[in-house]
Structures are given as structure tokens and as C-alpha cells.
């Protein structure tokens, strides 16, 4: 179950629709403005199509040796949920066909619209072709695309486009790996190999080193596992031309049993996805590195398993985190904030310009938002409106929640500096964010993303699989706005 992304050769030509079938490409996706649909169906060329359309069938035709799939998209496309749904639907019409060569032709769009649609369709097509790991017999993976011919000739940054597809694909691949194949040690092995291949600096803070550093919150969770696989893995991509530095932190619980607060009533099923946040951090690093963006990235993966065993941590223990704060444990199933606490402390010590953490953290966030959005917390409230808008445009939507200090009232402990979480019913997604804020200096701009959207039937943005890799695309979109990473002196 190795992850290999095969980037196709993508070429751009100013081919006309009438010349399209002259290309020796068996399948073409032909995109026409929706506003021209009626006229198109009434024309001679559209005669058979009008019948198919009235029957609600895909609009397809054979031209010479070429099979053409027609789709209609808005003449003036605006990035948003509706457009992304149309893009995923359009890509699905051809992504599942067993062809390795494809033509993508846009007819009758302005250069700006053609550029936007080409970019989104290419991303959706390539993402849909990335096979997720499967142990099922007889499931033949579809061939990879070797060549895609695009017309008209638009200008796209292919390294950035392909980097995003590859990074998101990595995040989805790792998340889909079953717990039996991706335990903490196996995950670390993969990360080590990837770092060597990509030329990233890699340091694994193992449990001995973390004990010396006083990372008692992380180690409390690590204790339950039968091996010493848990570690905080630090990766660094440092291009010579870097203008700013970003830290990406991810929760990497390879399997979450809940610990002594054991998950019941089927709640443990699917808990191999609890490392999704770390997969997003790693996938984002890969995307940035492949695109060669001039940003230094410190990526921190909090890799552990939350198990029961003779040494596993228990409610009512008091542990001390790496910044000296003492924590009274309330619920061992709130392990994510424990491993993140120490990881955030280590990440903040490297003085990044911006710190982002990703975690499949709370059921409360999912109850509040469903899986169409992920929860957003930010210690720069004046950024929230713009971040929400970036989410809408990227197709990975985030919605803000408060991070006011007075929420700390529910985290007051009789015996320690902090309660790990509020006993009983509470707005746990906000409590969790407040808890984490005690491990991030107020001077450091920080975003916390509670990944309620990590798993969503139908997908998000340009990605159609249920495991979405939510966060890679959003982060790339927000890092493209330099104001979020040029605030060193805030
Ligand atoms: Zn848990």
C-alpha cells in the first residue's frame, strides 16, 4: 500500500472544437457555457444530444475515433460550493473510464473563465484517479493518466497544481490506511522514508527525548501502547529563498480506542482516521515543497495510539506539559488535546510567523457543523471574516467559533493549572480550543482547525472521495495571501 502519484504530461494547445477529434486521444471532456446550452441542443450538432438531455442522460457523442463527453458550466464561474459540485460531477463522467489519455476542451469561454475551469477540472480529474489503499481482491485500480491535452492554451502553474493534488492524495491515502497497516511505528517509518526522498530535515522526538523535555501530556497518551512507537516527528522544508516561516501541527492518533474511557456503541469504528490532522499537515508540506514555494515550513506530527493497558493513563491523574503547566486528566478519550499541547509548545519554540494545527478533535464540532464545514478558531479575531471567505473560495469551508478567555471558567481544576476538559456536557470544541491556547504564546498568530469535514460523503472542493484530506487546499489558499504570514511584528 505504497503511495505513488504519477503526474501526467499536461500540454496546452489552441485547438478548435472541430479539430479536437483530429487528436489521437480516445476520450475528450468538452466544456461549454451553460448559457449556450439551449442553442447548442437546438443546433444540428446537438440533435441527438437534445434527446439524451430530455431523458436526463449524459450528453455524449462519437466524433470519428473520439468519444466526447459534453458538460455545461457557467460562463462566468465563481468559486463556491455550487461550482465545486459541478466540477466534481463533470470530472466523474470521465475519471472512471479506463483510458490513460484524455483531452480537456473548453469552448466559448473568456480566457479568465477558461483558466479557472481548466485548473479546477484538472485538479478534480487527477484527484479522482488517485486510488485509495484497498485490500479487496479483484479491484483493479484504474490506469493513471499519462497525458492530458488541454485547449485552449491557458497559463497555469503546473508545479503548484500537481503539488496540491499529490499532497491531498497523500493525506487521503494515509488516512485510509487501516489501523493494522499504519500503527505509530509504521507511520513513522513512512514519514522517515518520505523525508529522505524529499530532502526534508527529519527529527523524531522519541519518548526518551520527550521525557527529558518534560512533555508529560503527550507521554500520558503514549503510555497505553504496547510498544514505544509514539513520537513527535518534526520535518523541515527550508528553501534558500524563504521569506517567512509557517508551522503546521497535526494530530496523529493512529487508532483511538478512547483509552480507559473506552469508546462504546460502535464509536470506535473508523478511528483509524484519527490521524487525519497529521496527514493534512504532511500533505500540505508535500504540496508546498513540490510547488517550491518560498516559505519555510516546520511540520510537527503528534503520532501515537490511544490504547488501554496496565500503564495507560487514567482520569484524575495530574500530568505536567512541556511548558510546565499541570493538567488534571478528566477523560482519556480527549487524548488529542493532550498530544497537541506538547507538540504546540515545541512548534512555538521555533518562532514561526504563523502556527496552524489540524485535528479530528471533537464530536462537539461535528454536532455543531456536520461534515460540510470544519471548525475554525483563531487568536486574531480580525482575520476570521477573510478566512471564512478563503474557505468558501477553496471549497474547504470553515466556520468560526469563539476563543474568549472567559470560557476558561469550565477548565478550572481544584488540583492543577487546567482541567483537560469540562466534565459532563459542554461546548467541547470551544473548551478544546481554549485548552490548546494555553500552549500557544499569545504573540504568535495561531489557527486551530477542528476537522469535522475530514470525512464527508460526496467530498469537498475538487476532491470527490469521502475521505477528503480537508485542509491541504484551504491552507495553500490562505498561504497565498501574504498578509497571514507577514505579521512577525504584530
Ligand atoms: Zn479520543
Segment 315-361, tens digit of pLDDT:
999 999 999 999 999 999 999 999 999 999 999 999 999 999 999 99
**Residue 50: per-residue pLDDT:** 84
Q: What integer best gives the mean pLDDT of the chain? A: 95
CA distance 490 to 443: 7
CA distance 132 to 174: 9
CA–centroid distance, residue 196 to ligand 1 (Å): 31
CA–centroid distance, residue 179 to ligand 1 (Å): 15
CA distance 37 to 53: 10
Give the pLDDT band (50/70/90) at residue 44: low
Does the predicted TM-score (pTM) go above 0.95?
Answer: yes
**Residue 51: per-residue pLDDT:** 83
CA–centroid distance, residue 171 to ligand 1 (Å): 20
What b/e readout covers 438-450, taking b as 16+ CB neighbours within 10 angstroms?
Answer: bbbeeebbbbbbb
CA–centroid distance, residue 431 to ligand 1 (Å): 15
Give the pLDDT band (50/70/90) at residue 46: low
**Residue 489: per-residue pLDDT:** 37
Residues tagged active-site: 263, 337
**Mean pLDDT across the stretch 71-93?**
96
CA–centroid distance, residue 120 to ligand 1 (Å): 35
CA distance 455 to 22: 42
Does residue 488 surpass a pLDDT of 50? Answer: no
Does residue 450 surpass a pLDDT of 70? Answer: yes
Q: How far is CA 68 from CA 9, 18, 110, in A?
A: 20, 12, 22
Amino acid at each position: 500500500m505504497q503511495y505513488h502519484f504519477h503526474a501526467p504530461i499536461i500540454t496546452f494547445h489552441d485547438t478548435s472544437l472541430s479539430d479536437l477529434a483530429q487528436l489521437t486521444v480516445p476520450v475528450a471532456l468538452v466544456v461549454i457555457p451553460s448559457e449556450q446550452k439551449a442553442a447548442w441542443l437546438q443546433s444540428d450538432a446537438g440533435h441527438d444530444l437534445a434527446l439524451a438531455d430530455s431523458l436526463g442522460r449524459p450528453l455524449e457523442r462519437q466524433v470519428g475515433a473520439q468519444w466526447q463527453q459534453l458538460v455545461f458550466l457557467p460562463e462566468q464561474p465563481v468559486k463556491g460550493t455550487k461550482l465545486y459540485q459541478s466540477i466534481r460531477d463533470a470530472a466523474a463522467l470521465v475519471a472512471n473510464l479506463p483510458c490513460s489519455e484524455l483531452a480537456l476542451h473548453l469552448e466559448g469561454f473568456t480566457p479568465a473563465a477558461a483558466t479557472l475551469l481548466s485548473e479546477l477540472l484538472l485538479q478534480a480529474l487527477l484527484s479522482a484517479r488517485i486510488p485509495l489503499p484497498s485490500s479487496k481482491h479483484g479491484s483493479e485500480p484504474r490506469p493513471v493518466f499519462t497525458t492530458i491535452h488541454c485547449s485552449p492554451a491557458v497559463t497555469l502553474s503546473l508545479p503548484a497544481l500537481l503539488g496540491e493534488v499529490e499532497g491531498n492524495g497523500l493525506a487521503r491515502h494515509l488516512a485510509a490506511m487501516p489501523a493494522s497497516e499504519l500503527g505509530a511505528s509504521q507511520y513513522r517509518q513512512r514519514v522517515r522514508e518520505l523525508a529522505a526522498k524529499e530532502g526534508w530535515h527529519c527529527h523524531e522526538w522519541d519518548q526518551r527525548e520527550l521525557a527529558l523535555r518534560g512533555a508529560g501530556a503527550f507521554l500520558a497518551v503514549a503510555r497505553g501502547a504496547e510498544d514505544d512507537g509514539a513520537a513527535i516527528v518534526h520535518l523541515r522544508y527550508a528553501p534558500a529563498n524563504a521569506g517567512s516561516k509557517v508551522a503546521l501541527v497535526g494530530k496523529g492518533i493512529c487508532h483511538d480506542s478512547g483509552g480507559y474511557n473506552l469508546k462504546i456503541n460502535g464509536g470506535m469504528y473508523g478511528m483509524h482516521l484519527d490521524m487525519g490532522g497529521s496527514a493534512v499537515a504532511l500533505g500540505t508540506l508535500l504540496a508546498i515543497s513540490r510547488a517550491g514555494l518560498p516559505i519555510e515550513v516546520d511540520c510537527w506530527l503528534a503520532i501515537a495510539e490511544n490504547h488501554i493497558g496496565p500503564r495507560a493513563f487514567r482520569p484524575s491523574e495530574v500530568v505536567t506539559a512541556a511548558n510546565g503547566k499541570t493538567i488534571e486528566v478528566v477523560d482519556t478519550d480527549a487524548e488529542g488535546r493532550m498530544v497537541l499541547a506538547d507538540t504546540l509548545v515545541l512548534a512555538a519554540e521555533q518562532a514561526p510567523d504563523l502556527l496552524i494545527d489540524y485535528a479530528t478533535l471533537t464530536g462537539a464540532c461535528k454536532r455543531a457543523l456536520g461534515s460540510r464545514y470544519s471548525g475554525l478558531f483563531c487568536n486574531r479575531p480580525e482575520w476570521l471574516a477573510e478566512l471564512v471567505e478563503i474557505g468558501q473560495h477553496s471549497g474547504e469551508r470553515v466556520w468560526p467559533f469563539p476563543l474568549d478567555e472567559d470560557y476558561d471558567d469550565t477548565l478550572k481544576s481544584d488540583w492543577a493549572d487546567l482541567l483537560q476538559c469540562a466534565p459532563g456536557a459542554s461546548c467541547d470544541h470551544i473548551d478544546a480550543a481554549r485548552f490548546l491556547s494555553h500552549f500557544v504564546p499569545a504573540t504568535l498568530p495561531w489557527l486551530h482547525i477542528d476537522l469535522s469535514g475530514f470525512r464527508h460523503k460526496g467530498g469537498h472542493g475538487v476532491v470527490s472521495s469521502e475521505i477528503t484530506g480537508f485542509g491541504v487546499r484551504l491552507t495553500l489558499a490562505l498561504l497565498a495571501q501574504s498578509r497571514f504570514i507577514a505579521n512577525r511584528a504584530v
